[in-house]
Amino acid sequence: MKISHFGISSMTALAASMAVVMPFQANAQSAMEQQYASLPTYAGDDLGVTVRDGVTTFKLWSPQAQEVKLNIYPTGRNSAPIMTMGMLKGDNGLWTATVPEVLYGKFYTYHIYQDGRWRGETPGVWAKSAGANGQRAAIIDLSLTNPEGWDADKGPETKSPVDAVVYEMHHRDMSIHPSSGIANKGKFLAMTEHGTTTPTGEKTGIDHLKELGITHVQILPSYDYGSVDETNLPSNQYNWGYDPQNYNSPEGSYSTNPSDPAARVKEMKEMIKAFHDAGIGVIMDVVYNHTFIGEGSNFDLTAPGYYYRHRQDGSWSDASGCGNETASERQQMRNFMLNSLKHWVNEYHIDGFRFDLMAIHDIETMNEIAAELRKINPDIILYGEGWTAGDSPLPADKRALKDNAYMMPGVGVFSDDIRDAVKGHYSRQEDRGFATGKPGNEETVKIGIVGATNHPQVDYSKGNNSKKPYALSPAQVVNYVSCHDDLTLTDKLHKSMGDTVSIAKRQRAAKLAQTIVLTSQGIPFIWCGEEVFRDKKGVHNSFQSPDSVNAIDWNNKHLYPELFDYYRNLIALRKAHPAFRMSDAKEVARNIKFDRVNVPNLISYSILNNANGDRWREIKLVFNGSEMTQTVNVPKGNWTVIARDEQINPDGLGTAKGGKMEVAPVSALILARE
């Protein structure tokens, strides 16, 4: 998300400074926590509304409410209720109302009375769809929203998360530019269109993704978020969507008709089915860590105080940097996250989740999520940002932090290590990295290469960010050099290398950077459009920038065919060779051997022993991030040249005999032998 991330070291310092005042805080905190812990909770998955045998039943969890009213509306907005009734208090903090009618097509809100006042109408936290702008929950028959063949729909088999090649995408970035040739621009349906091309005939949309060869898309927030006015779509507002409003409904502005609550559900399912039919899995970005607004949010209007953390003085704590943070350690928030995730898996066939600011959540919750979701889909992919954007009342040893990844074996974390080491610091825009000639990043790049696992030749004390191997397995690490946050790789290379450096030279650096990512152990991850050198006009925090900044200009695919081919071949290389996809840390330690080179911006290593069942006995990889041609010693033998001087071909570019070999400036040399 858009917030600048504190490094682990600064978080540790904050936690240490808090410890001084802990005795006083602990008492007040524990009194509040005891009060919340004493409230009854409900783990059932039938909160919200269910329709069965001609009866519509409403259930709301609101353990401290003194009175609750239910309103039924004929439309999603701008109408008076056709029915208002009191709800009955039952066990488990539940309030129930039943109407002996099938109310499909109608909308509802709850209104609770607590602590001497009516709190304000809310669709509750279990709206599975909603009226335009999400103020009223919709009552729809979800079974009627299924596309043809939905029962047999299934994501790709993914034996280990390291077998995935993840492509992060925003619905609007992908299709809104005229050059996309797509009809449903900025909509879920955009990715259901086949045969779309640029004006010069290059494939776009889902055909482009198939051509590129990625295995999974990671879609930016696609639940109902608050920042885009769904009643004014012609104004073409843009937002990343890190402002959750209704967690269990798709976003209305991505549907062709936000006023029709079935349309957003149906169209999102059609998009997912189109991806699945193309062999591509769908990972969804989820933002349970905070809500768009704190006071007046659906959480706040149904159970005031309960779902959020507060500071000692009663103010809202703010580890999200967005004004509030949720409290996953409280049982009903944990139940909510679990049931919400299950809803997306069961109803939408989502194949994985990316947890925004995951360290706001507690470790126990993340482990429970991993265990429960793997019961439904053993292949599900789970990872998140192992950091917060500010301090939290949740103690650091309970946070789902990158450094605590070893306590969450089923959950992965993003590697800011490889990210910053390869391209330069994420926020210091002029800073360079390994691929752009700055020395001193070699050991941190090696941390990336071994997937942040324990390796006898990697000296973690020289790591720029992490000082210890934090992953139990490469399957716990997402390797990347750019994402929606911060400068795109294109813009980063521009800013750090300078205006006078040619596009061709910047693309050399891009190829080297992504070669390191795509050949490293772990889960490789790229940001949409990098394969065509998309930029964001130098805007780093483009969360609400216009399309003119965020849209991918697909004409680039015509301008830079060699760059696109490089990405395509690089992905094909990874997919064809299990040696790049070891999921066992011991295998990584045994099969990866670094060469002593002692030259700045030069790394040379081998993947040995037909690693992970590879037909290649040995793969030699040399990365030269310097401006000079370097010479390395390669064992004599019959080698196939896979990559050399910014060319790559998994089937081979030629042969080599080993011995002293030259590596061109800012490029990768990859050799293989059987």
Q: Which residues bind Ca ion (CB under 5 A)?
A: 224, 252
For the beta carbon of residue 361, count every other beta carbon within 10 angstroms: 29
Token pair 């189109």 is at which residue? 274
Q: Which of 385, 442, 486, 618 is catalytic?
A: 385
Nearer to Ca ion, 124 or 252 (CB): 252
Nearer to Ca ion, 252 or 281 (CB): 252
How is residue 190 annotated by DSSP? G
**CB 224 → Ca ion: shortest distance, Å?**
4
Token pair 């990625």 is at which residue? 214
Nearer to Ca ion, 224 or 325 (CB): 224
30 Cβ contact partners less than 8 Å away, ≥ 6 residues apart: none
Amino acid, single-letter form, for residue 208: H
How far apart, in Å, are the Cα atoms of 184 and each of 70, 253, 353, 669? Answer: 37, 12, 25, 42
* Alpha-carbon span 47 to 95, nearest angstrom: 10
In 269-420, beta strands by DSSP E = 281-286, 352-355, 381-384, 412-414
Q: Which of 356, 391, 485, 646 is catalytic?
A: 356
607 Cβ contact partners less than 8 Å away, ≥ 6 residues apart: 579, 580, 591, 592, 614, 616, 618, 619, 621
**CB 245 → Ca ion: shortest distance, Å?**
6
* Alpha-carbon span 601 to 88, nearest angstrom: 69
- CA-based nearest residue to 566, from 446, 674, 440, 670: 670
* Alpha-carbon span 359 to 525, nearest angstrom: 20
23 Cβ contact partners less than 8 Å away, ≥ 6 residues apart: none
Nearer to Ca ion, 230 or 417 (CB): 230
Report residue 506 as tokens: 């910047």
Report residue 175 as tokens: 């299709």
Report residue 151 as tokens: 């029962």
**CB 639 → Ca ion: shortest distance, Å?**
55
How far apart, in Å, are the Cα atoms of 527 and each of 68, 484, 536? Answer: 46, 7, 12
Token pair 């011995």 is at which residue? 659
Nearer to Ca ion, 129 or 415 (CB): 129
Question: Is 636 strand, coil or helix?
Answer: coil
* Alpha-carbon span 184 to 133, nearest angstrom: 20
Q: What is the DSSP string of 543-557?
A: TT--HHHHS--TTHH
Active site annotation includes 347: no
**CB 328 → Ca ion: shortest distance, Å?**
23
Which contiguous run of DSSP H or E holds residue 55?
strand 55-61
**CB 455 → Ca ion: shortest distance, Å?**
46
Nearer to Ca ion, 306 or 344 (CB): 344
Active site annotation includes 356: yes
Nearer to Ca ion, 123 or 252 (CB): 252
* Alpha-carbon span 309 to 319, nearest angstrom: 9
Nearer to Ca ion, 297 or 488 (CB): 297
Residue with the CB atom nearest Ca ion in the bound state: 224
Handedness of CA 11, 413, 275, 483 (dihedral sign): positive
Nearer to Ca ion, 224 or 391 (CB): 224
Rounded to 5 degrees, φ, ψ at 143 are -65, -20
Contact 643, 652 (CB under 8 A): no
Nearer to Ca ion, 135 or 612 (CB): 135
For the beta carbon of residue 220, count every other beta carbon within 10 angstroms: 27
Token pair 């670094």 is at which residue? 594
**What are the catalytic residues?**
356, 385
